[in-house]
Amino acid sequence: MPETMTNSRQCRQCKQCGACCRKGGPILNREDLNLVRQGHIRHDQLVTIRQGELGYNPATGRLEPVPVELLKICGQGGGWTCLFFAEEENACTIYAHRPATCRILQCWQPEALLATIYQNTLRRLDLLNPRDPILAEINRHEQACPGNLTELLADTGRTGDLSRLTALVRADLAIRAEVAQRFGLSLAMEGFLFGRPLFKQLAGSGIEWVEGAGGKVSLTLHPEGISFVCTLKGIKSGELLNSALPPAP
Ligand code: SF4
Ligand code: SF4
């Protein structure tokens, strides 16, 4: 945690240090709808965290399956820093149009922000035309490849059988590739429409993946990872704390 955040309880006002912006982009809520409608934030600058996917809950300090779908501003270059943070100026490039979460955040007294977590959040459907044919593809993807892998990881760890998980990971990629080609989607737009690929959610779970010819992903159980995966079975979501599973970017 950056020094400024560590000492944040001693602050009484924002020093505009940018530490919060470097810790990750904000989740959007319904107050932010017009920011997207007016073009201040584009769809392809958002990544969907699907219901059930692991995400960092600042209220508990733990990685937990998120109870509702979330839309989050992407990071920069695969890192954590919010896409809209300009390092050179140490400033937000959309400051006048920053999301509600950024306006509420006072790192020295986080209670107001913590009270809003998972409340009133935007979903993909809020940002899409109800007649858009892509909705049927999102629905097909959700049915075929749900975001919550916890139970399946637990079963896989117990049995050592990777076949169901492998089939799911490949179905996820196949749907993405097919729809991306048919609709001419960018990778960034794919992140908004379908969230993170399932295989990217496996990092640190004890299951390794390799990408072969034609983007075909194969999974293997890491010898030291099996026991970890087994511990997923029957635990409460909050007990995922000490896992190496990363939160969604
Ligand atoms: S709210 Fe963010 S920018 Fe302001 S002092 Fe805290 S960490 Fe720094
Ligand atoms: S939108 Fe602006 S204020 Fe909010 S996290 Fe990103 S850079 Fe920081």
Q: Cβ distance 135 to 128 under 8 Å?
A: yes
74 Cα: distance to centroid of ligand 1 (angstroms): 19
Helix (H, G, I), strand (E, B) or coil at 64: strand
Q: What is the pLDDT of residues 152-185, one digit of tens each?
A: 888 887 787 888 988 999 899 999 999 999 999 9
Comparing 23-32, 77-86, 125-134, 209-218, the range with the smallest average pLDDT is 209-218
CA-nearest residue, atom 4 of ligand 2: 102
Beta strands in 193-243 (DSSP E): 207-211, 217-221
What three-state secondary structure class fits 121? strand
Average pLDDT over residues 31-39: 96
Mutate to test the pocket of ligand 1, among 6, 11, 17 (most ligand atoms within 8 A of CB): 17
Beta strand extents in the chain (DSSP E only): 46-49, 54-57, 62-65, 70-73, 85-86, 91-92, 207-211, 217-221
Entry pTM: 0.84
CB-based burial, 93-108: b 16+ in 10 Å, e otherwise:
ebeeebbbbbebbbbe
**Look-up of token digits 């896989």:** 156
Using a 10 angstrom Cβ sphere, with 0-12 exposed, 13-18 middle and 19 or more buried, the burial of residue 187 is exposed
Whether the Cβ atoms of residue 97 and residue 86 lie closer than 8 Å to each other: no
pLDDT of 233 above 60 = no
Ligand 2 pocket, 75 CB below 6 A?
A: no
**How is residue 247 annotated by DSSP?**
P
Using the predicted structure, report yes or no on whether residue 213 has a pLDDT greater than 60.
Answer: yes
| Ligand (nearest to CA of 104) | 1
Q: What's the half-sphere exposure (Cβ side, CA atoms, 13 Å) at 24? A: 16
